[in-house]
Amino acid sequence: MAREASFHSPGGAGHFLGYRRNLRGGVEVVYDDGARRRLVFRLVDPRIDEAGLGEALRTAVGQPRVLPALYAELSKRAIAIDSVG
């Protein structure tokens, strides 16, 4: 898997979704709304299909309500996450 990948919302809405590997080898998904909120989630199973995760993030960031779309896309692909903080 690549070390990181990122996606920005089309049309300048300012939303950002990305994923990265942390120092322990785990995978984290980062959400930033471009104004005041930044959330980090850890994938429960770090052995995840990179293409599936990337497609989930790419699809979610293009939706009007990014976070609900992210949860739905990850759920469709059976990708479980935990909140980091």
Helical pair 66-76 and 50-61, crossing angle rounded to 10 deg: 150
* Structural domain range at position 57: 4-83
Mean pLDDT by 10 residues, the chain (85 residues): 75 86 90 91 87 94 94 95 85
Give the number of domains in the chain. Answer: 1
Token look-up 């990948």 returns: 5
**DSSP-derived 3-state class of residue 69:** helix
pTM of the full structure: 0.87
Q: What are phi and psi of 61, to 5 degrees?
A: -70, -20
Side-chain-side CA neighbours of 37 within 13 Å: the count stands at: 7
Structure confidence at residue 14 (pLDDT) = 85
